[in-house]
């Protein structure tokens, strides 16, 4: 069972309180919506207190070309991605000793908020001393499901190569996709919710002598995964690519879709291993938003305490797309104990679900 040895974050420079974004949005959108004050309640009702952005709020007050936004994405992705990798491989919380860059067999890079060819990890490999033979596996377009999907793909890589050490690097700079002239409700809701975040996880195979570098008494091993895509659901979430860049597609039906679709999906996985939902001590959920977390609770008959960690991450950081679940996972890794079970879940464009079963060993 491949294991997750370390998780770390790289926090973007600019911390912006929700009230600041609310006031910015009121000024920008007031002429577009007659009921602007009612719509702005989404900023207060979403239970987000602050977020972190790659640029200060003034940067968003003037029009930017797709080229300008994408150049900002590449620059910040390389800088923050490098920091996240260093923080992960040099973590004094999770590791007894630093893991050398040359020991990494593969880097799985997850992102959906900018374009780069060569991909971001190729650029990072020119800054950090990775082996020239490190395998590059960039994955684009998974959105909020990407962090969980990256962990699943790392699990499968380590099953095939038990001696491998694999990085899952998630880079999402959602703010840089912001469209000032998109006066849709989807854009307004997205502005109330999405944020920038970068994180990195180290996944290792069974033949890695992890006890030599593992600092925590127990770490999560991955023993099963499940990927599911709902047919004919392309309009639920994603991007509409236009001349000015990426325009958000964000259906108001997402919470109701989750309530109807998630439970049979989860139980299909649990039943294969004779596990019941009550056996899951740690519900490692991507917090897509307040209503999404409530849909998890209603769909899976959870107690409120099961989503407290996800709520805390949402409150402090907002929805950072694929990176968010790694922020949640890191907090569970700090408190979970040997023998306990976890379920990691994230939903994204497709419309898709990624599930992982975890056991702390």
Which amino acids are annotated catalytic?
Answer: 144
d(CA 162, CA 65): 45
Structure tokens at 52: 């972190």
Rg for the chain, CA atoms, rounded:
20
Nearest to 201, CA basis, from 327, 75, 115, 54: 327
CA distance 5 to 202: 6
Q: Give the tokens for residue 236.
A: 């639920």
Q: Report the relative pairing of strands 14-17 and 50-53 from DSSP bridges.
A: antiparallel
Nearest to 150 by CA among 121, 110, 111: 110
In DSSP notation, 184-221 reads SHHHHHHHHHB-EEEEEEEEE-TTS-GGGTB-SS--EE
- Sign of CA pseudo-dihedral 180, 184, 186, 192: positive
- Which residues sit opposite 247 in a β-bridge? 240
Q: CA–CA separation, 169 vs 233, rounded Å?
A: 27
Burial pattern 23-53, b for ≥16 Cβ within 10 A else e, equals ebbeebbeeeeeeeeebbebbeebebebbbb
Please enumerate in sequence order all residues whose Cβ is within 8 A of that of 32, keeping only pairs 6 or more positions apart, or say none: 183
Burial class (CB in 10 A: 0-12, 13-18, 19+), 265: middle
For residues 134 and 276, what is the distance between their CA atoms, to the nearest angstrom?
39
The single-letter DSSP state of residue 319 is: B
What whole-number distance in Å separates Cα of residue 209 and Cα of residue 85? 20
Q: Which among 94, 322, 321 is positioned nearest to 220, based on CA atoms?
A: 94
């Amino acid at each position: 069972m491949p294991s997750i040895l370390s998780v770390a974050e790289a926090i973007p420079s600019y911390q912006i309180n929700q009230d600041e974004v609310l006031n910015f949005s009121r000024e920008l959108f007031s002429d577009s919506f007659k009921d602007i004050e009612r719509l702005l309640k989404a900023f207060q009702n979403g239970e987000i207190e602050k977020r972190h952005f790659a640029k200060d709020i003034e940067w968003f007050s003037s029009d930017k070309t797709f080229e300008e936004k994408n150049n900002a994405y590449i620059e910040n992705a390389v800088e923050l991605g490098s920091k996240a990798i260093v923080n992960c491989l040099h973590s004094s919380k999770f590791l007894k000793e630093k893991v050398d860059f040359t020991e990494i067999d593969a880097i799985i890079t997850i992102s959906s908020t900018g374009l780069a060819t060569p991909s971001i990890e190729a650029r990072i490999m020119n800054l950090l001393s990775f082996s020239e033979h490190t395998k590059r596996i960039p994955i684009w377009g998974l959105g909020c499901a990407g962090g969980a999907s990256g962990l699943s793909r790392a699990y499968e890589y380590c099953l095939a190569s038990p001696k491998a050490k694999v990085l899952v690097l998630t880079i999402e700079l959602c703010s840089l996709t912001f469209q000032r002239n998109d006066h849709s409700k989807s854009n307004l809701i997205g502005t109330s919710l999405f944020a920038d975040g970068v994180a990195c996880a180290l996944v290792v195979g069974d033949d890695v002598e992890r006890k030599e570098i593992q600092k925590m008494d127990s770490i999560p091993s991955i023993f099963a995964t499940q990927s599911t895509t709902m047919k004919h659901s392309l309009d639920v979430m994603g991007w509409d690519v236009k001349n000015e860049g990426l325009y958000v597609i964000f259906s108001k039906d997402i919470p109701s879709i989750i309530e109807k679709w998630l439970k049979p999906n989860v139980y299909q996985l649990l039943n294969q291993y004779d596990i019941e939902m009550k056996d899951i001590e740690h519900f490692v959920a991507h917090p897509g938003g307040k209503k999404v977390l409530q849909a998890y609770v209603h769909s899976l008959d959870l107690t409120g305490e099961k989503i407290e960690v996800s709520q805390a991450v949402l409150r402090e950081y907002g929805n950072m797309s694929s990176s968010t679940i790694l922020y949640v996972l890191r907090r569970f890794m700090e408190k979970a104990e040997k023998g306990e079970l976890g379920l990691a879940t994230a939903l994204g464009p497709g419309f898709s679900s990624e599930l992982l079963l975890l056991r702390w060993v």
